[in-house]
Amino acid sequence: MIIKDKKSQPVVFAVSDSIGETAELVIRAAMVQFNSDKVDIRKVPYVTDNEYVEDIIEEAKNTADCVIVCTIILPEVRQHLLSLAEQNQIPIVDLMGPMMDTFSKIIEVKPHLQPGLVHRIDEDYFKKIEAIEFAVQYDDGKDPRGLSRADVVLIGVSRTSKTPLAMFLAHKRLKVANLRLVPEVAPPDELFHLPPKTIIGLTISPEKLFDIRQERLKALGLSTEATYAQLSRIMEEIEYADMIMEKIGCPKIDVSNKAVEEIATSILEIIRKGEV
């Protein structure tokens, strides 16, 4: 089940009794600090019995440089992994154990201790799926009827991260429609009848947008001479977008040099404060 590894590469085993999503995420967050693409992160999902634990320990013993990161919920299985790792001097980090113990101090109910619960199909799950489908359906102003049904409407010129932002916010259960602002196409009337607080304007510096669009054209194998990526055109689009945003009176976020996750955090902040 576990494939043997090349000797030189450090290995992190992400051992979970569910699918191992959480472990992988935290490992990546830590790993990026080491600037190391050479580490092999190996997810070992569905580890729910002691026999499987023993297999993993055997494999780890045969791997030169390795660390185990464990997000096992089942206390017995987790304990077995922890003691075997210690016996065999394999470095191990227990992500869920200390957290569950600490939470028990403030929460009176007993934990379910049921692996995979985080992926259960419940109302919250359906909300997330619905939000993802909504973002796809109402991407790029495809259907103006989406505007009034959205929790948030993102507006901005082309290449201001509207689509990926809509998707990140969908994971937070927000229904997001997005609309591209272009001088040649007047926005649908619906936009001006929405509560201004449901709209967020994405702005960007002309220089940054110039770089992004030049790159975009290169990536598509097109000439960088196209109007789309000319500074005069970019200035015209940005001015037009600014004018629309002023008219609406919506909050604005400058997306230049920001990652989508950071912009999403700012948007959530605005929503929380303004109770959009």
Annotated binding site: 156-163
Beta bridge partners of 69: 14, 93
Token pair belonging to 275? 């109770």
Query: Would you list which residues are annotated within the binding site for ADP?
Result: 156-163
Whose Cβ is closer to a copy of itself: residue 60's or residue 244's?
60
Q: How far is the CB of 232 from a copy of itself (least distance, A)?
A: 26
13 forms beta bridges with 42, 68
* CA separation for the pair 252, 268 (Å, rounded): 13
Distance between CA atoms of residues 179 and 189, nearest Å: 12
Which residue, 89 or 227, is less far from a copy of itself as judged by CB? 89
Which one, 19 or 248, has the nearer CB to a copy of itself? Answer: 19
- Do residues 15 and 71 touch, judged by C-beta distance below 8 A? yes
Nearer Cβ to a copy of itself (110/193): 110
Give the tokens for residue 193. Answer: 């009848």
- The answer to whether 139 touches 185, Cβ cutoff 8 Å, is no
Q: State which residue, 70 or 200, has the beta carbon closest to a copy of itself.
A: 70
Structure tokens at 115: 């692996």
Tokens for 140, please give them: 């790029």
202 forms beta bridges with 253
Q: How far is the CB of 185 from a copy of itself (least distance, A)?
A: 19
Whichever of 26 and 182 has its CB closer to a copy of itself, that residue is 26
Residue 82: closest CA among 53, 60, 111: 53
The answer to whether residues 85 and 56 touch, using CB atoms and an 8 Å cutoff, is: no
Give least dist CB 112 to a copy of itself, A: 5
Nearest to residue 155, comparing CAs of 234, 86, 247, 225? 247
In the complex, what is the shortest distance from the CB of residue 20 to a copy of itself, in angstroms, rounded to a whole number? 8
Measured from the CB of residue 79, what is the shortest distance to a copy of itself in angstroms?
A: 16
CB of 192 to a copy of itself, least distance (A): 26
Rounded Cα distance between 70 and 14, Å, is 6
